């Protein structure tokens, strides 16, 4: 089975204060399942790491190493770019950021559940009918 991976879960892998039982369970699922994400995930992840470096939570070499490790995970980047009007419509309908709407759009297009720790995105995924990846914690 596959699922759409949201950056909120990746943050749980790289930042101690974002780690949860859910993010750990999703990491375990990646051992047997594949994740799909929009290209946006790497932009968001790089920005999170940049912020961590600026706040002196980690140094740049650690951030670079984390990006290298993450790039080796079985995360398929879906190259299709959604239509901006569709992103706006989803963002407005579900009260999401345009970034979160990109994850929802991919889940809807591929008919896959979303792995997310973001409450608003999880609720939107449920309402839209794709659901959220459930994990035994």
DSSP assignment of 63-95 equals HHHHHHHHHTSSEEEP-PPPPHHHHHHHHHHHT
Residue 30 lies in a domain: yes
Structure token digits, residue 128? 């839209």
Q: Domain tally for the chain?
A: 1
CATH code of 78's domain: 3.40.50.1010
> pTM of the entire structure?
0.93
pLDDT tens track for 97-111: 999 999 999 999 999
Structure token digits, residue 111? 């008919």
User: Residue 14: pLDDT above 90?
Assistant: yes
Residue 133 lies in a domain: no
Domain ranges, residue 71: 2-128
**C-alpha closest to that of 20 among 10, 30, 29:** 10
pLDDT tens track for 52-73: 999 999 999 999 999 999 999 9
Residue 137 lies in a domain: no
């Amino acid at each position: 089975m596959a699922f759409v991976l949201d950056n909120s879960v990746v943050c749980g892998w790289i930042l101690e204060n974002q780690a949860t039982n859910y993010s750990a369970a999703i990491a375990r699922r990646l051992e047997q399942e594949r994740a799909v994400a929009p290209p946006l995930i790497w932009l968001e992840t790089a920005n999170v790491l940049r912020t961590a470096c600026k706040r002196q939570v980690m140094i740049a070499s650690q951030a670079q190493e984390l990006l290298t490790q993450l790039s080796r995970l079985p995360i398929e980047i879906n190259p299709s770019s959604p239509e901006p009007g569709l992103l706006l419509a989803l963002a407005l309908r579900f009260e999401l950021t345009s970034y979160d709407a990109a994850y929802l759009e991919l889940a809807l297009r591929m008919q896959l559940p979303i792995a997310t720790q973001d409450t608003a995105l999880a609720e939107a995924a449920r309402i839209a009918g794709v659901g959220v990846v459930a994990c035994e914690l």
